[in-house]
Amino acid sequence: MRLTSSLRFHRQNNKTFLRIFMILVLSCIPGRTNLCSNHSDTRSSLDSLDLEGYITFDDVHNASKDFGNRYQFPPLAILHPKSVSDISTVVRHILHLGSTSNLTVAARGHGHSLQGQALAHQGVVINMESLPSPDIKIYKGTQPYVDVSGGELWINILKETLKHGLSPKSWTDYLHLTVGGTLSNAGIGGQAFKHGPQINNVYQLEIVTGKGEAVTCSKKLNPELFHSVLGGLGQFGIITRARISLGPAPHMVKWIRVLYSDFSTFSRDQEHLISKKKGFDFVEGSVTINRTELLNNWRSSFTPNDSTEASQFKSDGKTLYCLEVVKYFNKEEANSMNQETEKLLSELSYIPSTLFSSVVPYIEAVRSSGEAKTLLVNGEEASFVISNPSHTKP
């Protein structure tokens, strides 16, 4: 009797559960219809905006992933702006739609982010390279600077500033990146220990805020916004223009590479170099695992200090640490530069047979460094930089 009552109770509960479940399912169907309707309405509203540029909805594959290749999030639309006003208009419009649209916005330069920062799942990706780049304006004086578009590439800035004997003080290794992209992250390279990352060498920014307002900011004008945007991963505003500090550009560089087999010795030497007031102008390291004929590959750009010893060195099956350093100089300073370089190298504990060097024009060294690092990444090597804490942004 008790068993029969229990079965009847469970059956009634099951029926009740099924009824509730069916009600929930049926109630979700109109909701889904509304979502599709909202999606269509959002697309139509974006398509109807009065823009100098244009919005695309179909060809969004290239904006669905970034260099990290870990995430794939297709956007609803891509904005190809022809003015800062286009960016402001779209951001204001999305703000006006409110939270019901669920639209997000992401600025995208060359798409070299690693964690999906340049992606906007079913949102709007802004193709910053479509933003016209006016003439790069260079201002000389006691504190020279250059005004550039947020979509401008660093390689173009280098070429233009060198015509005036100037260059930015801090570089990333790879130069085919947009200004807005690196300034939204940090912009760390081999000069960061000396001049700080790129975000420490900016005088002024023009940004579009989350409200769609075009705002100018600096250390004195809207300082909180200025420091939030720099290194802010695009979460506090979209960089549309930047005023970047410049310094005298050297004519030549001496470029040196050496290898270590012990990480502690390698890192100790790196830290020693960045602590010196008068040392190298560029210090960077990388780690390589099981690279065949590593030193022979260097011979295309570098000359070994001892060719015989270098040819006998075997890199196969080893974990090695590469220290890369650069000394800037002008042609009349060659002798003193060589003396300073020899003294600095004598203070290090690298593998003697792996000393390679090259003397090249400044622009060639900057461009080649980026190409070399790209090859290192493809060859399963990882690069890293030890920065001086005194130059980090507050």
At 208 the pLDDT is: 96
User: Is 112 designated active site?
Assistant: yes
- Selected catalytic residue, list 129, 173, 206, 269: 173
| Beta carbons of 290 and 333 less than 8 angstroms apart | no
132 pLDDT band (50/70/90 cuts)? confident
Average pLDDT over residues 330-338: 92
At 218 the pLDDT is: 97
15 pLDDT band (50/70/90 cuts)? low
Q: What is the pLDDT of residues 221-263, one digit of tens each?
A: 999 999 999 999 888 999 999 999 999 999 999 999 999 999 9
Share the mean pLDDT of the chain. Answer: 83
Q: What is the pLDDT of residues 100-109, one digit of tens each?
A: 778 889 999 8
Q: Is residue 342 classed exposed, middle or buried when 0-12, 13-18 and 19+ CB atoms within 10 A define those classes?
A: exposed
Using the Cα atoms of residue 7, residue 13, residue 15 and residue 17 in order, give the sign of their dihedral.
negative
- Selected catalytic residue, list 152, 284, 324, 381: 284
27 pLDDT band (50/70/90 cuts)? very low
Q: Is the pLDDT of residue 373 over 50?
A: no
Average pLDDT over residues 116-135: 87
Closest CA to 42 of 118, 120, 100, 105: 100
Closest CA to 62 of 105, 144, 141, 119: 119
Q: Which range, of 9-13, 163-167, 365-369, averages the lowest pLDDT?
A: 9-13
Alpha helices in the chain (DSSP H): 2-47, 84-97, 154-162, 179-183, 192-195, 223-229, 263-274, 294-298, 307-312, 334-346, 362-378
Q: What is the pLDDT of residues 64-84, one digit of tens each?
A: 888 888 888 999 999 999 999
DSSP state of 153: B
Using the Cα atoms of residue 181, residue 185, residue 190 and residue 191 in order, give the sign of their dihedral.
positive
DSSP states along 161-200: HHTTTEEES---S--SSBHHHHHTT----TTHHHH--GGG
Q: Is the pLDDT of residue 205 over 50?
A: yes
Q: Is the pLDDT of residue 305 over 80?
A: yes
Structure tokens at 33: 């219809």
Q: Is the pLDDT of residue 52 over 60?
A: yes
At 39 the pLDDT is: 62
User: Is 52 designated active site?
Assistant: no
| Beta carbons of 190 and 283 less than 8 angstroms apart | yes
Structure tokens at 334: 């060659």
Q: Is residue 172 classed exposed, middle or buried when 0-12, 13-18 and 19+ CB atoms within 10 A define those classes?
A: buried
Using the Cα atoms of residue 197, residue 222, residue 156 and residue 360 in order, give the sign of their dihedral.
negative
- Give, in degrees to the nearest 5, the angle at Cα 209 between 225 and 178: 85
- Selected catalytic residue, list 112, 160, 206, 324: 112
Closest CA to 324 of 248, 390, 273: 273
Average pLDDT over residues 312-326: 92
User: Is 284 designated active site?
Assistant: yes
The percentage of residues in the chain with a pLDDT greater than 70, rounded to a whole number, is: 83
φ and ψ at residue 335, rounded to 5 degrees: -65, -50
Instruction: Compute the distance between CA of residue 218 and CA of residue 236 in angstroms, rounded to an integer.
Output: 14
Buried b (16+ CB within 10 A) or exposed e, 275-287: eeeebbbbbbbbb
